Amino acid sequence: MPEARHLTLLEVDAASAARLREEFAGRTEAVVHGGGTHMPFADGRFDSVVCFTMLHHVPTPAAQDRLFAEAHRVLRPGGVFAGCDALSSVRFRLIHIGDTCVPVPPATLGERLRAAGFAKAEVTVGEGRVRFRAE
Ligand SMILES: C[S@@+](CC[C@H](N)C(=O)[O-])C[C@H]1O[C@@H](n2cnc3c(N)ncnc32)[C@H](O)[C@@H]1O
């Protein structure tokens, strides 16, 4: 995959966004404090949207679906939405005791991405993770 020429980071936690601003100073276009379910970006602004190991932190399936629809809205036509997350397991749930943990079931992820507006969605499972690519 080619390296991105411009990168915008979206982070819902204010302290984490401040840390990322320091860590990525000069290496990203912007670190934006905001949530994936209401992205503070114009329609069609991005070529691609990616999210890694964060969907399970979005507290309900309905909110996750809203995030998928937002990813579709901010992508240019033909843009790609891709990412991965951990599969549900006893160990994963144990390490999230007291924290939000709503793993995304792989069996229904493809249809949820299509319902959010993506024409194509590929979902694969392996090594304890679900990976997806939608466009
Ligand atoms: C487990 S960390 C993963 C961070 C990074 N993607 C990685 O793979 O190392 C999940 C991150 O997603 C952020 N997050 C959770 N819900 C979010 C949302 N609705 N919108 C944007 N960021 C969110 C959390 O604050 C946290 O920084």
- Please give the class, per CATH, of domain 44-134: alpha beta
**Contact residues for 95 (Cβ-Cβ < 8 A; gap 6+):** none
Tell me: the pLDDT tens digits for 78-119?
999 999 999 999 999 999 999 999 999 999 999 999 999 999
Say if residue 1's pLDDT is above 60: no
Phi and psi of 32, rounded to 5°? -110, 130
Determine the pLDDT at residue 29: 80
Tell me: the pLDDT tens digits for 34-84?
999 999 999 999 999 999 999 999 999 999 999 999 999 999 999 999 999
Where in the chain are the domains?
7-36, 44-134
Say if residue 120's pLDDT is above 90: yes
Kindly list the protein residues whose Cβ atom lies closer than 6 A to any atom of ligand 1.
Answer: 10-13, 16, 35-37, 52-54, 57-58
What angle do helix axes 106-115 and 61-74 make, rounded to 10 degrees?
50
Which one, of 67, 71, 54, lies nearest residue 135 by Cα? 71
What does the block give as tokens for 106? 């792989």
5 compared with 8, residue with greater pLDDT: 8
CA of 58 to the centre of ligand 1 (A): 9
Q: Whose CA is nearest to atom 12 of ligand 1?
A: 54
CA of 54 to the centre of ligand 1 (A): 4
Determine the pLDDT at residue 49: 98
DSSP 8-state assignment for residue 57: G
What does the block give as tokens for 23? 């860590």
Determine the pLDDT at residue 46: 97
